[in-house]
A and B are shown apart, each in its own frame.
Chain A
Amino acid sequence: DAGVIQSPRHEVTEMGQEVTLRCKPISGHNSLFWYRQTMMRGLELLIYFNNNVPIDDSGMPEDRFSAKMPNASFSTLKIQPSEPRDSAVYFCASSLNGNNEKLFFGSGTQLSVL
């Protein structure tokens, strides 16, 4: 299996622009997580999907952030408009059967907002 695939690996954008991060979970996994990692706050859970349905979005910082999972093999995290404080590494992770004992992480997207 190819593992969790994220794109792009790196994104540099200017403040105010829209940013879309993409994730393809491992085939057959029905749980998907979006995390954000910074030095100050560590790994923060942003949103969790189970069977394509958002279950917990309490970690989404504000309305500028939105996430979708239109089907079992694709999810997006969108930031509109982006701000410099959104600069971080964004990870997508998936797990099998929703038990969440073991998460498989993608390589992450390094986002820099100038």
Chain B
Amino acid sequence: GQSLEQPSEVTAVEGAIVQINCTYQTSGFYGLSWYQQHDGGAPTFLSYNALDGLEETGRFSSFLSRSDSYGYLLLQELQMKDSASYFCAVRVRPNLNSGGYQKVTFGTGTKLQVIP
């Protein structure tokens, strides 16, 4: 199976930078995604890393190290609206007989609170 670990809660100040880490244990790893979910809302896609390195999308960046089974989401210039839960998710191929099917398994989420 797959296991993902991320901190349960993080608090940061408006305008600051925050990093949310994710470590995973799985076989058949294809890539790591990040999703944002506001209270009462649906998860929305933020970024995806298949290769090692940093992917930047505006204020948000995501990093992956396949050798370390580790990734992080970096949020810069924090705004109050960034207060939400952030989930990492691994895309894996369950087994060689899965016919190319890639399963997406989510971590338990990190609740980010941005304070003034």
Q: List residues of A whose CB falls within 8 A of some B CB.
A: 33, 35, 42-43, 45, 48, 50, 55-56, 91, 93, 98-108
- Chain B interface residue number, banded: 20 to 34
Instruction: For A42, give its contact among B42, B102, B107 (CB under 8 Å).
Output: B107
B-chain residues with CB within 8 Å of residue A102 when the two chains form the complex = 33, 45, 48
Contact call A55/B105, Cβ cutoff below 8 A:
no
Interface of chain B residues 88 through 111 with chain A (CB within 8 A): 91, 94, 98-109
Contact call A56/B94, Cβ cutoff below 8 A:
yes
Minimum C-beta distance from A67 to chain B (A): 16
Q: Does any Cβ of A come within 8 Å of B7's Cβ? A: no
Given A43-B43, A55-B99, A102-B45, answer yes or no on A33-B94 (Cβ-Cβ < 8 Å): no
Minimum C-beta distance from B18 to chain A (A): 21
Contact call A43/B45, Cβ cutoff below 8 A:
no
Query: In the complex, how many residue pairs between chain A and chain B have their CB atoms under 8 Å apart?
Result: 57
Contact call A42/B33, Cβ cutoff below 8 A:
no
Contact call A56/B103, Cβ cutoff below 8 A:
yes
Minimum C-beta distance from B65 to chain A (A): 19
Minimum C-beta distance from A43 to chain B (A): 4
Minimum C-beta distance from B42 to chain A (A): 4
Contact call B101/A42, Cβ cutoff below 8 A:
no
Contact call A43/B42, Cβ cutoff below 8 A:
no
Listed by A's residue number, 6 A-B pairs whose Cβ atoms lie within 8 Å are A42-B109, A45-B104, A91-B43, A100-B91, A103-B33, A105-B43
Given A42-B109, A43-B106, A48-B101, answer yes or no on A105-B42 (Cβ-Cβ < 8 Å): yes
Q: Does any Cβ of A come within 8 Å of B87's Cβ? A: yes
Interface of chain B residues 51 through 106 with chain A (CB within 8 A): 87, 91, 94, 98-106
Contact call B100/A103, Cβ cutoff below 8 A:
no
Closest Cβ neighbor of A40 among chain B residues: B108
Which of B33, B35, B42 gathers most chain A CB within 10 Å? B42
Minimum C-beta distance from A73 to chain B (A): 19
Closest Cβ neighbor of B4 among chain A residues: A42
Minimum C-beta distance from B50 to chain A (A): 8
Closest Cβ neighbor of B108 among chain A residues: A42
